[in-house]
Structure 1
Amino acid sequence: MTLPAGVERRSVDGQTGLATRGEPVYGEPTDGEWRLWNPHRSKLGATIEQGIETGLDGEERALYLGAASGTTVSHVADFAGPTYAVEFAPRPMRDLVGVAEGRPNLFPLLKDAREPETYAHVVEPVDVVVQDVATRGQADVALTNRLFLEDDGRLIAAFKARSEDVTADPDAVFDRLLTELESGYEILATERLEPYHDDHLAVVATPER
Protein backbone atom coordinates (compact mmCIF):
# COMPACT_ATOMS: atom_id res chain seq x y z
CA MET A 1 0.00 0.00 0.00
CA THR A 2 1.30 3.44 -0.96
CA LEU A 3 1.11 6.12 1.70
CA PRO A 4 0.03 9.63 0.66
CA ALA A 5 2.78 12.20 0.27
CA GLY A 6 3.15 13.86 3.65
CA VAL A 7 2.37 10.66 5.59
CA GLU A 8 5.24 8.50 6.83
CA ARG A 9 5.75 5.57 9.15
CA ARG A 10 8.02 6.79 11.91
CA SER A 11 9.19 5.95 15.42
CA VAL A 12 8.32 8.61 17.99
CA ASP A 13 8.91 8.22 21.73
CA GLY A 14 9.33 4.49 21.29
CA GLN A 15 6.07 4.15 19.35
CA THR A 16 6.07 3.31 15.65
CA GLY A 17 3.17 4.25 13.42
CA LEU A 18 1.83 6.65 10.85
CA ALA A 19 2.79 10.28 11.29
CA THR A 20 2.04 13.62 9.65
CA ARG A 21 3.68 17.01 9.96
CA GLY A 22 1.71 19.64 11.82
CA GLU A 23 0.84 21.17 15.16
CA PRO A 24 -0.21 18.58 17.80
CA VAL A 25 -3.92 18.42 18.54
CA TYR A 26 -4.87 15.65 20.99
CA GLY A 27 -1.78 14.95 23.07
CA GLU A 28 -0.20 12.68 20.47
CA PRO A 29 3.56 11.97 20.68
CA THR A 30 5.68 14.29 18.57
CA ASP A 31 9.19 14.43 17.18
CA GLY A 32 9.93 17.90 15.90
CA GLU A 33 7.27 18.71 13.32
CA TRP A 34 6.12 15.08 13.07
CA ARG A 35 3.21 13.77 15.16
CA LEU A 36 1.92 10.24 15.46
CA TRP A 37 -1.48 9.41 13.98
CA ASN A 38 -3.29 7.23 16.52
CA PRO A 39 -5.42 4.61 14.69
CA HIS A 40 -7.37 3.91 17.88
CA ARG A 41 -8.67 7.48 17.76
CA SER A 42 -9.05 7.80 14.00
CA LYS A 43 -11.11 5.67 11.62
CA LEU A 44 -9.12 6.92 8.64
CA GLY A 45 -5.87 6.21 10.44
CA ALA A 46 -7.13 2.68 11.16
CA THR A 47 -8.16 2.27 7.52
CA ILE A 48 -4.66 3.08 6.35
CA GLU A 49 -3.10 0.89 9.06
CA GLN A 50 -5.23 -2.03 7.83
CA GLY A 51 -3.47 -1.78 4.50
CA ILE A 52 -6.51 -0.72 2.50
CA GLU A 53 -5.64 1.06 -0.74
CA THR A 54 -7.31 4.43 -0.28
CA GLY A 55 -6.07 6.06 -3.47
CA LEU A 56 -4.80 9.05 -1.48
CA ASP A 57 -1.69 10.66 -2.96
CA GLY A 58 -1.43 13.87 -0.95
CA GLU A 59 -2.50 17.42 -1.82
CA GLU A 60 -6.08 16.29 -2.60
CA ARG A 61 -8.97 18.67 -2.15
CA ALA A 62 -10.92 17.03 0.66
CA LEU A 63 -14.38 17.15 2.21
CA TYR A 64 -14.49 15.63 5.69
CA LEU A 65 -17.93 14.72 7.05
CA GLY A 66 -18.20 14.33 10.81
CA ALA A 67 -15.09 16.26 11.78
CA ALA A 68 -15.94 16.43 15.52
CA SER A 69 -13.18 18.24 17.44
CA GLY A 70 -10.60 17.73 14.70
CA THR A 71 -8.59 14.64 15.66
CA THR A 72 -8.57 13.01 12.22
CA VAL A 73 -9.26 15.97 9.99
CA SER A 74 -6.20 17.70 11.43
CA HIS A 75 -4.06 14.87 10.04
CA VAL A 76 -5.88 15.09 6.71
CA ALA A 77 -5.20 18.82 6.52
CA ASP A 78 -1.52 18.13 7.26
CA PHE A 79 -1.08 16.30 3.93
CA ALA A 80 -4.07 17.40 1.82
CA GLY A 81 -4.89 20.58 -0.03
CA PRO A 82 -8.01 22.62 0.82
CA THR A 83 -9.91 20.61 3.44
CA TYR A 84 -13.55 21.35 4.25
CA ALA A 85 -14.57 20.02 7.67
CA VAL A 86 -18.30 19.58 8.32
CA GLU A 87 -19.46 19.21 11.93
CA PHE A 88 -22.99 19.52 13.27
CA ALA A 89 -22.45 20.02 17.03
CA PRO A 90 -21.41 23.45 18.34
CA ARG A 91 -19.25 22.15 21.23
CA PRO A 92 -16.73 20.16 19.15
CA MET A 93 -16.88 22.88 16.51
CA ARG A 94 -15.27 25.26 18.99
CA ASP A 95 -12.33 22.87 19.30
CA LEU A 96 -12.23 22.39 15.54
CA VAL A 97 -11.96 26.14 15.00
CA GLY A 98 -8.94 26.15 17.29
CA VAL A 99 -7.34 23.32 15.30
CA ALA A 100 -7.89 25.27 12.09
CA GLU A 101 -6.09 28.35 13.42
CA GLY A 102 -2.75 26.68 12.73
CA ARG A 103 -3.85 25.15 9.42
CA PRO A 104 -4.78 27.77 6.81
CA ASN A 105 -6.04 25.07 4.42
CA LEU A 106 -8.62 23.75 6.95
CA PHE A 107 -12.11 25.27 6.71
CA PRO A 108 -14.58 24.35 9.52
CA LEU A 109 -18.27 24.37 8.59
CA LEU A 110 -20.97 24.21 11.27
CA LYS A 111 -23.37 22.22 9.10
CA ASP A 112 -25.30 18.94 9.00
CA ALA A 113 -23.72 16.36 6.66
CA ARG A 114 -27.24 15.11 5.89
CA GLU A 115 -28.01 18.48 4.28
CA PRO A 116 -25.25 19.16 1.74
CA GLU A 117 -27.33 21.83 0.06
CA THR A 118 -26.58 24.08 3.05
CA TYR A 119 -22.85 24.15 2.26
CA ALA A 120 -22.88 23.52 -1.49
CA HIS A 121 -22.23 27.22 -2.11
CA VAL A 122 -18.98 27.01 -0.10
CA VAL A 123 -17.41 23.66 -1.02
CA GLU A 124 -15.62 23.33 -4.36
CA PRO A 125 -15.40 20.01 -6.22
CA VAL A 126 -13.15 17.68 -4.24
CA ASP A 127 -10.96 14.66 -4.91
CA VAL A 128 -11.94 12.79 -1.76
CA VAL A 129 -14.85 12.66 0.66
CA VAL A 130 -13.90 11.21 4.04
CA GLN A 131 -16.96 10.20 6.06
CA ASP A 132 -17.17 9.39 9.76
CA VAL A 133 -20.75 10.26 10.65
CA ALA A 134 -22.26 8.27 13.51
CA THR A 135 -25.91 8.61 12.54
CA ARG A 136 -28.65 6.48 11.04
CA GLY A 137 -28.64 6.68 7.25
CA GLN A 138 -24.88 6.64 6.71
CA ALA A 139 -25.24 5.40 3.12
CA ASP A 140 -27.65 8.26 2.41
CA VAL A 141 -25.05 10.75 3.68
CA ALA A 142 -22.49 9.32 1.26
CA LEU A 143 -24.97 9.38 -1.62
CA THR A 144 -26.15 12.96 -1.08
CA ASN A 145 -22.57 14.24 -0.77
CA ARG A 146 -21.52 12.50 -3.99
CA LEU A 147 -22.30 15.75 -5.81
CA PHE A 148 -19.02 17.23 -4.55
CA LEU A 149 -16.81 14.43 -5.88
CA GLU A 150 -14.87 14.64 -9.11
CA ASP A 151 -15.63 11.83 -11.55
CA ASP A 152 -12.46 9.98 -10.55
CA GLY A 153 -12.74 10.93 -6.86
CA ARG A 154 -12.87 8.63 -3.87
CA LEU A 155 -15.22 8.12 -0.97
CA ILE A 156 -13.46 6.79 2.13
CA ALA A 157 -16.11 6.01 4.73
CA ALA A 158 -16.22 4.33 8.11
CA PHE A 159 -19.67 2.83 8.66
CA LYS A 160 -20.67 2.22 12.27
CA ALA A 161 -23.13 -0.65 12.66
CA ARG A 162 -24.48 0.46 16.04
CA SER A 163 -25.43 3.87 14.67
CA GLU A 164 -27.81 2.15 12.25
CA ASP A 165 -29.27 -0.52 14.54
CA VAL A 166 -28.01 -1.42 18.00
CA THR A 167 -29.81 -4.79 17.96
CA ALA A 168 -28.97 -6.11 14.48
CA ASP A 169 -26.00 -8.25 13.54
CA PRO A 170 -23.26 -5.89 12.29
CA ASP A 171 -22.60 -8.00 9.19
CA ALA A 172 -26.25 -7.71 8.20
CA VAL A 173 -26.13 -3.95 8.75
CA PHE A 174 -23.03 -3.62 6.61
CA ASP A 175 -24.55 -5.71 3.82
CA ARG A 176 -27.57 -3.41 3.75
CA LEU A 177 -25.45 -0.26 3.76
CA LEU A 178 -23.28 -1.53 0.91
CA THR A 179 -26.34 -2.43 -1.14
CA GLU A 180 -27.69 1.09 -0.65
CA LEU A 181 -24.31 2.61 -1.47
CA GLU A 182 -24.12 0.72 -4.76
CA SER A 183 -26.97 2.83 -6.11
CA GLY A 184 -24.46 5.63 -6.62
CA TYR A 185 -20.96 4.23 -6.10
CA GLU A 186 -18.70 1.49 -7.33
CA ILE A 187 -17.24 -0.15 -4.24
CA LEU A 188 -13.49 -0.70 -4.54
CA ALA A 189 -12.60 -2.14 -1.13
CA THR A 190 -14.08 -2.96 2.26
CA GLU A 191 -12.45 -4.03 5.51
CA ARG A 192 -13.50 -4.34 9.14
CA LEU A 193 -11.59 -2.00 11.46
CA GLU A 194 -11.01 -4.34 14.38
CA PRO A 195 -8.90 -4.29 16.53
CA TYR A 196 -8.89 -0.50 16.34
CA HIS A 197 -12.66 0.10 16.24
CA ASP A 198 -15.34 -2.48 17.00
CA ASP A 199 -18.25 -2.98 14.60
CA HIS A 200 -16.93 -0.53 12.01
CA LEU A 201 -16.50 -1.15 8.30
CA ALA A 202 -14.10 0.85 6.14
CA VAL A 203 -15.33 1.42 2.59
CA VAL A 204 -13.47 2.87 -0.38
CA ALA A 205 -15.64 3.69 -3.40
CA THR A 206 -15.74 5.85 -6.50
CA PRO A 207 -18.83 7.58 -7.88
CA GLU A 208 -20.77 5.97 -10.70
CA ARG A 209 -21.75 8.40 -13.43
Structure 2
Amino acid sequence: MSEGTPPSLPEGVERREIGGRERLATRGEPVYGEPTDGPWRAWDPSRSKLGAMLELGMDTGLEGDETVLYLGAASGTTVSHVADFSGPTYAVEFAPRPTRDLLEAAASRPRLFPLLKDARKPETYAHVVESDVDVVVQDVATRGQADVATRNRQFLAEDGRLLLAVKARSEDVTADPDAVFDRVREELEESYEVLEVRRLDAYHVDHLGVVARPRVV
Protein backbone atom coordinates (compact mmCIF):
# COMPACT_ATOMS: atom_id res chain seq x y z
CA MET A 1 0.00 0.00 0.00
CA SER A 2 1.55 3.31 -1.08
CA GLU A 3 1.85 6.25 1.29
CA GLY A 4 -1.37 8.20 1.50
CA THR A 5 -3.48 5.33 0.17
CA PRO A 6 -6.26 4.39 2.59
CA PRO A 7 -6.24 0.77 3.77
CA SER A 8 -8.49 -1.57 1.84
CA LEU A 9 -11.68 -2.86 3.38
CA PRO A 10 -11.96 -6.53 4.35
CA GLU A 11 -13.28 -8.83 1.67
CA GLY A 12 -17.04 -8.94 2.19
CA VAL A 13 -17.26 -5.29 3.27
CA GLU A 14 -18.11 -2.76 0.58
CA ARG A 15 -19.07 0.87 0.23
CA ARG A 16 -22.51 0.91 -1.36
CA GLU A 17 -25.17 3.54 -1.91
CA ILE A 18 -27.98 2.71 0.50
CA GLY A 19 -30.69 5.16 1.45
CA GLY A 20 -29.32 7.85 -0.85
CA ARG A 21 -25.73 7.91 0.46
CA GLU A 22 -22.62 5.80 0.41
CA ARG A 23 -22.27 3.51 3.42
CA LEU A 24 -20.19 0.62 4.62
CA ALA A 25 -22.18 -2.57 4.09
CA THR A 26 -22.04 -6.34 4.58
CA ARG A 27 -24.23 -9.13 3.22
CA GLY A 28 -26.55 -10.70 5.76
CA GLU A 29 -29.88 -10.60 7.54
CA PRO A 30 -30.60 -7.19 9.16
CA VAL A 31 -30.28 -7.09 12.95
CA TYR A 32 -30.99 -3.61 14.30
CA GLY A 33 -33.31 -1.97 11.77
CA GLU A 34 -30.45 -0.84 9.54
CA PRO A 35 -31.20 0.20 5.94
CA THR A 36 -30.71 -2.49 3.33
CA ASP A 37 -30.29 -2.85 -0.41
CA GLY A 38 -31.15 -6.37 -1.44
CA PRO A 39 -28.80 -8.68 0.49
CA TRP A 40 -26.62 -5.77 1.63
CA ARG A 41 -27.10 -4.16 5.05
CA ALA A 42 -25.70 -0.78 6.01
CA TRP A 43 -23.06 -0.78 8.75
CA ASP A 44 -23.75 2.27 10.91
CA PRO A 45 -20.46 3.63 12.36
CA SER A 46 -22.37 5.65 14.95
CA ARG A 47 -23.57 2.35 16.44
CA SER A 48 -20.36 0.39 15.97
CA LYS A 49 -16.87 1.23 17.24
CA LEU A 50 -15.28 -1.15 14.72
CA GLY A 51 -17.42 0.36 11.97
CA ALA A 52 -16.14 3.79 13.03
CA MET A 53 -12.53 2.56 12.89
CA LEU A 54 -13.07 1.34 9.33
CA GLU A 55 -14.95 4.48 8.33
CA LEU A 56 -12.11 6.64 9.65
CA GLY A 57 -9.55 4.71 7.66
CA MET A 58 -7.73 2.90 10.45
CA ASP A 59 -5.56 0.03 9.24
CA THR A 60 -7.25 -2.81 11.13
CA GLY A 61 -5.47 -5.52 9.18
CA LEU A 62 -8.80 -7.22 8.55
CA GLU A 63 -8.89 -9.01 5.20
CA GLY A 64 -11.96 -11.22 5.60
CA ASP A 65 -12.39 -14.86 6.66
CA GLU A 66 -10.37 -14.43 9.88
CA THR A 67 -11.18 -16.31 13.06
CA VAL A 68 -12.44 -13.70 15.52
CA LEU A 69 -12.95 -13.47 19.27
CA TYR A 70 -15.36 -10.60 19.96
CA LEU A 71 -15.47 -9.30 23.54
CA GLY A 72 -18.52 -7.26 24.54
CA ALA A 73 -20.88 -8.45 21.81
CA ALA A 74 -24.01 -6.95 23.45
CA SER A 75 -27.09 -7.58 21.29
CA GLY A 76 -25.08 -8.27 18.14
CA THR A 77 -24.98 -4.93 16.34
CA THR A 78 -21.30 -5.07 15.37
CA VAL A 79 -20.50 -8.73 15.77
CA SER A 80 -23.24 -9.65 13.31
CA HIS A 81 -21.46 -7.55 10.67
CA VAL A 82 -18.16 -9.18 11.60
CA ALA A 83 -19.68 -12.65 11.23
CA ASP A 84 -21.02 -11.62 7.80
CA PHE A 85 -17.47 -11.47 6.40
CA SER A 86 -15.28 -13.42 8.83
CA GLY A 87 -14.70 -17.05 9.63
CA PRO A 88 -15.65 -18.56 13.00
CA THR A 89 -16.66 -15.67 15.29
CA TYR A 90 -16.89 -16.22 19.04
CA ALA A 91 -19.09 -13.56 20.65
CA VAL A 92 -18.66 -13.06 24.41
CA GLU A 93 -21.38 -11.16 26.28
CA PHE A 94 -21.91 -10.98 30.03
CA ALA A 95 -25.52 -9.73 30.32
CA PRO A 96 -28.37 -12.21 29.74
CA ARG A 97 -30.83 -9.73 28.20
CA PRO A 98 -28.70 -8.62 25.22
CA THR A 99 -27.51 -12.20 24.81
CA ARG A 100 -31.07 -13.17 23.89
CA ASP A 101 -30.93 -10.69 21.00
CA LEU A 102 -27.45 -11.97 20.13
CA LEU A 103 -28.86 -15.48 19.83
CA GLU A 104 -31.43 -14.20 17.34
CA ALA A 105 -28.69 -12.53 15.28
CA ALA A 106 -26.77 -15.81 15.29
CA ALA A 107 -29.72 -17.87 14.07
CA SER A 108 -29.01 -16.99 10.43
CA ARG A 109 -25.22 -16.96 10.88
CA PRO A 110 -23.75 -20.45 11.28
CA ARG A 111 -20.26 -19.04 11.91
CA LEU A 112 -21.38 -16.89 14.87
CA PHE A 113 -21.09 -18.55 18.28
CA PRO A 114 -22.63 -16.59 21.21
CA LEU A 115 -21.11 -17.18 24.65
CA LEU A 116 -22.80 -15.94 27.82
CA LYS A 117 -19.51 -15.28 29.62
CA ASP A 118 -17.52 -12.51 31.32
CA ALA A 119 -14.66 -11.16 29.18
CA ARG A 120 -12.74 -10.50 32.41
CA LYS A 121 -12.68 -14.26 33.05
CA PRO A 122 -11.33 -15.90 29.89
CA GLU A 123 -10.72 -19.15 31.76
CA THR A 124 -14.50 -19.70 31.66
CA TYR A 125 -14.54 -19.95 27.85
CA ALA A 126 -10.99 -21.13 27.11
CA HIS A 127 -12.34 -24.65 26.54
CA VAL A 128 -14.61 -23.34 23.74
CA VAL A 129 -12.58 -20.73 21.90
CA GLU A 130 -9.88 -22.13 19.67
CA SER A 131 -6.32 -21.01 20.21
CA ASP A 132 -4.46 -18.81 17.71
CA VAL A 133 -7.42 -16.68 16.67
CA ASP A 134 -6.56 -14.05 14.09
CA VAL A 135 -8.36 -11.10 15.65
CA VAL A 136 -9.63 -10.05 19.06
CA VAL A 137 -12.19 -7.24 18.85
CA GLN A 138 -12.84 -5.65 22.23
CA ASP A 139 -15.67 -3.26 23.11
CA VAL A 140 -16.14 -3.82 26.83
CA ALA A 141 -17.42 -0.86 28.86
CA THR A 142 -15.68 -1.59 32.14
CA ARG A 143 -12.85 -0.31 34.30
CA GLY A 144 -9.62 -2.09 33.45
CA GLN A 145 -10.01 -2.34 29.69
CA ALA A 146 -6.27 -2.89 29.19
CA ASP A 147 -6.41 -5.72 31.72
CA VAL A 148 -9.23 -7.40 29.77
CA ALA A 149 -7.11 -7.22 26.61
CA THR A 150 -4.12 -8.65 28.48
CA ARG A 151 -6.14 -11.53 29.94
CA ASN A 152 -7.43 -12.45 26.47
CA ARG A 153 -4.04 -12.20 24.75
CA GLN A 154 -3.69 -15.95 25.27
CA PHE A 155 -6.11 -16.59 22.40
CA LEU A 156 -4.29 -14.49 19.79
CA ALA A 157 -1.90 -15.89 17.23
CA GLU A 158 1.57 -14.37 17.30
CA ASP A 159 0.78 -12.32 14.19
CA GLY A 160 -2.81 -11.61 15.30
CA ARG A 161 -4.44 -8.24 15.87
CA LEU A 162 -6.21 -6.61 18.78
CA LEU A 163 -8.85 -4.08 17.71
CA LEU A 164 -9.77 -2.24 20.88
CA ALA A 165 -12.28 0.54 21.52
CA VAL A 166 -11.40 2.31 24.78
CA LYS A 167 -14.28 4.10 26.50
CA ALA A 168 -12.78 6.80 28.72
CA ARG A 169 -15.83 7.23 30.95
CA SER A 170 -15.86 3.54 31.83
CA GLU A 171 -12.32 3.86 33.18
CA ASP A 172 -12.84 7.12 35.10
CA VAL A 173 -15.82 9.39 34.55
CA THR A 174 -14.09 12.32 36.28
CA ALA A 175 -10.72 12.18 34.48
CA ASP A 176 -9.67 13.93 31.28
CA PRO A 177 -10.15 11.43 28.43
CA ASP A 178 -6.66 12.04 27.04
CA ALA A 179 -5.15 11.16 30.42
CA VAL A 180 -7.27 8.01 30.53
CA PHE A 181 -6.18 7.01 27.03
CA ASP A 182 -2.52 7.56 27.90
CA ARG A 183 -2.85 5.38 30.98
CA VAL A 184 -4.68 2.59 29.16
CA ARG A 185 -2.11 2.65 26.37
CA GLU A 186 0.76 2.45 28.86
CA GLU A 187 -0.83 -0.56 30.53
CA LEU A 188 -1.60 -2.17 27.19
CA GLU A 189 1.98 -1.86 25.98
CA GLU A 190 3.12 -4.34 28.63
CA SER A 191 1.56 -7.10 26.49
CA TYR A 192 0.98 -5.51 23.08
CA GLU A 193 2.77 -3.41 20.50
CA VAL A 194 0.46 -0.53 19.61
CA LEU A 195 0.38 0.02 15.85
CA GLU A 196 -2.20 2.79 15.51
CA VAL A 197 -4.50 4.90 17.68
CA ARG A 198 -7.23 7.32 16.68
CA ARG A 199 -9.96 9.21 18.48
CA LEU A 200 -13.43 8.05 17.43
CA ASP A 201 -15.22 11.24 18.52
CA ALA A 202 -16.72 11.80 15.06
CA TYR A 203 -18.96 8.84 15.88
CA HIS A 204 -18.38 7.99 19.57
CA VAL A 205 -17.50 10.73 22.03
CA ASP A 206 -14.55 10.07 24.35
CA HIS A 207 -13.59 6.80 22.67
CA LEU A 208 -10.19 5.77 21.32
CA GLY A 209 -9.64 3.17 18.63
CA VAL A 210 -6.50 1.06 19.04
CA VAL A 211 -4.86 -1.43 16.69
CA ALA A 212 -2.19 -3.59 18.34
CA ARG A 213 -0.40 -6.92 18.03
CA PRO A 214 0.91 -9.22 20.75
CA ARG A 215 4.42 -8.66 22.00
CA VAL A 216 6.61 -11.68 21.54
CA VAL A 217 7.41 -13.02 24.98
Q: TM-score, normalised by structure 2?
A: 0.96
Q: Structure 2 CA distance, aligned partners of 1:106 and 1:196?
A: 26
4+ runs of 1 displaced by more than 2 Å? none
- Output the aligned Cα RMSD: 0.4
**Unmatched runs of 5 consecutive residues or more in structure 2:** 1-6
Q: 1:184 aligns with which of 185, 188, 191?
A: 191
Cα displacement (A) at 1:15: 2.5
1:101 aligns with 2:110: no
Q: Structure 1 CA distance, aligned partners of 2:167 and 2:39?
A: 32
1:66 aligns with 2:78: no
- SS at the partner of 1:74? helix
Match of 1:199 in 2: 206
Amino acid at match of 1:65: L
1:156 aligns with 2:163: yes
**What does 1:15-54 align with in structure 2 at a 5 Å threshold?**
15-54=21-60
Match of 2:136 in 1: 129
Count of aligned residue pairs for this structure pair: 209
Cα displacement (A) at 1:17: 1.1
Cα displacement (A) at 1:22: 0.3
Q: Structure 1 CA distance, aligned partners of 2:90 and 2:22?
A: 29
Deviations along 1:64-114, one digit per CA (max 9) or x if unpaired, are 000000000000000000000000000000000010000000000000000
Cα displacement (A) at 1:12: 0.8
Deviations along 1:107-156, one digit per CA (max 9) or x if unpaired, are 00000000000000000021000000000000000000000000000000
Match of 2:3 in 1: none
Match of 2:182 in 1: 175
Q: Structure 1 CA distance, aligned partners of 2:9 and 2:119?
A: 27
Cα displacement (A) at 1:194: 1.3
- SS at the partner of 2:17? strand
Cα displacement (A) at 1:16: 1.2
